[in-house]
Every structure is written in C-alpha cells, then in structure tokens.
Structure 1
Amino acid sequence: MDVRKILEDVRDGKISVDEALKVFAKMPFEDIDFAKIDHHRKLRQGMSEVIFCEGKTKEQVLKIFERMIERGEVNIIGTRASREQYEYLREHLKDDVIYYETGRIICAKRVEIIKNPKGHVAVVSAGTADLKVAEEAAIVLEILGNNVKRMYDVGVAGIHRLFAHLDDIQSANAVVAVAGMEGALASVVAGLVSKPVIAVPTSVGYGANFKGLSALLTMLNSCANGVCVVNIDNGFGAAIVAHMINSLANQNL
C-alpha cells in the first residue's frame, strides 16, 4: 500500500484514522507463520518485495501473493516459478496472472507498465543455453519499467555476432552480460563500453565448468574495467542492479 495514498484517503474521509493506523501497524512486515512479508520495502527501496518461488509449495506462494494483492501491490513478481505454481495461482486469484516460461517468472495483478522515458538496458547472452537466466533478467527489468534490448547467442566463439549489435550495447545505460562455459563474454563487452557491466555466470558447461564456478572466477578476475559480478544463474540480482543504474540515469534527464 502506498503511504501517500493512505494519507490522502484519511484527508478525504475515505478511511478513518483508526483504519489507517491498522494499515501502518502491519506496514513494516506481516507475519504469516511461514513467511514475513516485507510490505515496507517499496517505501525503502522503490520496489516491492519479489517472491522467490523455488522451494515453496504452491499454497505458500498463493498466500504470499494474496497478502500482497490485499495490500494494494501491483505487478507482483515471483521468480524461479514452476508452471504448476503458475497454474495454481491462475486458478485461485481473481487478478490477472502471467507466466513467462523461459524466464520462469510469474507476474500477478498486471497493470500497465510505465517505462522510463529514455535510455535502455542491454541484456547480452553468450549462448542459447543461457537463455533462462538472460530472460529472467530481461523480464524483471521490463516489469520494473525499463526499456530492454536483447542480444542473444553472441558469445566469443563467434565474436562477429556481438559486433553486429555494438551500437545498441554502447548506447545502453547498463549492460547485463550472461555467460556460461568459461564466461569470457563479460570481459569482452566491458572492454567495448563506457557503462557498467553486470556479469552473470551461468551453470551451463561441461564438467570443468563446475556448474558455473569457472565462469564466476573468470568474471571476478576480469581485467576489463567496470565489471561487477552477481551469483551463478542470478539473472534477477543482475536485473535489480541494472534497474537502479538506469533509474539514476533517467533522474538526470
């Protein structure tokens, strides 16, 4: 619930002071036994809590979504969501629920998204096998209101494919570079741009990739300037960093 809206409703006589106090009392967080929902996060960080669905039952996911919808949240994001969880939400929620299969993202109570007026974030992936992580980043960015340009399957094994998109990459306010195997793509991109590069190692690769560890170490040891690294397969984490950078860029328009 937006604090300003509550105060305006009190001013306009739509709700009483006591009713507003009840809302504020639950605002820091709401304890629903198995989870403590951080309703205060949007006020602190400018974006609502995002639900990590993996490891939760479909009933638990539903209850969290229901509580957030009751508090007036819109475009609620659930990451690492299964189709089973999505189907359960779609069956039980009155509000629109959308599922992005590749990125494994649920978005509930979908309303029109107001995009940042200028600028974009480039999401670049090395191979098609990295698509799940790249799409997690791209979809979260779009739901948060960012213009996104995707450049997929442009890894170092055929570097000319990357150069074909150089204008879009260099003009971005931030770049998310997603790569498995040896993870070299982030260093190559960072050496070509003057903007921050958020590197995402993926668990894609043969045995010595160690489920993304080799890509992670490559990115951490990058000699290119301006690279920051998130955890293995963490497209969501990269999206949040890129969103914050893009928001700052738009504030200075």
Structure 2
Amino acid sequence: MTSERLPPYNPLRFDWERGARTGVHECVFCDGKSAEQIRHILATAQARGAQLLLTRLSAEALEALGGEFELDYCALSRTAILGGLPAAGEPSEDIALVCAGTSDLPVIEEARRTLAFHGIDAPVYADVGVAGLWRLMSVAEELSRFRVLIVVAGMEGALFSAIAGLVPGLVIAVPAPVGYGVSERGSAALNSALASCAPGIVTVNIGNGFGAAAAARKVVAAYHPEISHRVD
C-alpha cells in the first residue's frame, strides 16, 4: 500500500517574496508532485489570499484535487491559476508570441498564460512556419515592432533563425517537444536554436514556455520599471 500523505517533516518551503524581489513569482511545477502536496500548497496560498500559477498540472492531478479549489484551468497548456487571471488589458507593445505550427500551441499557451498572470497581455502569431514562408513574411512588419519575441518551433527549428534575421527585437527561442526521427522531442530544434548564426537569439530548454515568459517579463521591466508586481 502506498500513501500520498506528506512526510513527517515539512518538504515545502515556498518563496512567497520572490515576486516582490525579482518581478517573477514562484510558480508551482506540478509534474512529480503528489495531489496531497499540491493541495497543501494551494491551501496555504488560499489562506494568504494569494494568486498562484500552476504549470504541468495534468487532468488526472486536477481531478484528484476533487474540486476543492476554484482554479482557472487550461487543458491545452496544463496550467491552472488560483485566484483567476487579471482582467485583460491592452495587448502588449513589447512582447509577442510566435509559433511555427498548431502543434506548438501547448508551449505558446504556457508562455501566454504565464505572461497574463504577471499582467502582460501578449498577442499570438500562430502557424507562421517556414514551410510556407509567405506566412511569416505576411506578419514580418508587425513582428518588427516588438522588443521581445518568444518563438516556439519544433522539427528543424528553422523559424528561430528566420525571425532573428528579420526583426530588431530579442528572440527567445523555445524548442517545441514535437517531431519524430532525428527531430523527436525537440532535440533537433534545440540544436538549431543553439547553433543559429542569426544574432540576437537566446534559448531556453525544450518546451519551457514558462521560462521564456519569465525572461521576457524581466527584459520588459528594464524598459518599464513602473510595471507593477502582483502582490501576494
């Protein structure tokens, strides 16, 4: 018999002050956590009246919580928000989200909801992969207006270099865990992002939409120190 109960010591040391200290709140990576651990974190946050972002929360884990908490859940990105998203404001003029194909949307949504949780409503430019280069060129002028572009692509990851060669903004490359053969689980896209000869690309780990959004949030804060932190 196995038990999901917490061990007889406190395994959780949540960083409630991270948002005020760094501008990016500590969020809950749920993969690998038991339902009881997630429940304990949510109960603690709820008692504090704090909003909380959860990532990689599976539908099974959500069901195991038994509807005890009011969570804004997105099945596509496997993210949930305790306390709800802030009201949508004007679309950001600093950050845009771009993806090569619809298979990349789970990563895009993780990044988009992370930004929304931090008060940034970033527009999405979807399905502009280089297999139909006209799709990218049709939005290239619009993309050139943004300071930061979070770009998600799988397969060969050619979109990273293509965009970085067209726009003045910083490109944050997120290899998507899609593809097969040599491209399986984003490995080729990761190597493409790291090996790109187009200047102005930085790369996060495969599928790390959250990390890309956190980095973009920090870049924008350098331009706009007045951007408010979400206070727990």
TM > 0.5 between the two? yes
Secondary structure of 1:182 counterpart = coil
Q: TM-score, normalised by structure 1?
A: 0.80
- Between stretches 36-45 and 232-241, larger displacement belongs to 36-45
- Where has structure 1 moved over 6 Å in runs of 4 or more? none
Alpha-carbon distance between aligned partners in 2 of 1:103 and 1:32, rounded to the nearest angstrom: 32
Secondary structure of 1:251 counterpart = coil
Which amino acid in 2 is paired with 1:82? Answer: S
Partner of 2:58: 82
Deviations 1:168-209 (A, max 9, x none): 311112100101101110111111111111000112112111
Partner of 2:200: 226
- Between stretches 84-93 and 178-187, larger displacement belongs to 84-93
RCO comparison, higher one (Cα < 8 Å, 6+): 2
Alpha-carbon distance between aligned partners in 1 of 2:50 and 2:90, rounded to the nearest angstrom: 20
- Between stretches 209-218 and 171-180, larger displacement belongs to 209-218
Q: TM-score, normalised by structure 2?
A: 0.86
C-alpha RMSD over aligned residues: 2.2
Partner of 1:183: 157
Alpha-carbon distance between aligned partners in 2 of 1:224 and 1:110, rounded to the nearest angstrom: 39
Unaligned runs of 5+ in 2: 1-7, 228-232
Secondary structure of 2:67 counterpart = helix
Alpha-carbon distance between aligned partners in 1 of 2:168 and 2:194, rounded to the nearest angstrom: 19
- Among 107, 113, 116, the alignment partner of 1:133 is 107
Identity %: 38
Alpha-carbon distance between aligned partners in 2 of 1:90 and 1:120, rounded to the nearest angstrom: 39
Q: Quote how far apart the aligned CAs of 1:48 are.
A: 2.2
Going by fraction, where is helix more abundant, 1 or 2?
A: 1
Unaligned runs of 5+ in 1: 1-30
- 1:121/1:175 contact within 8 Å kept: yes
Deviations 1:78-115 (A, max 9, x none): 0011123334446112xx31001111110001263475
Alignment of 1:51-70 (within 5 A): 51-70=28-47
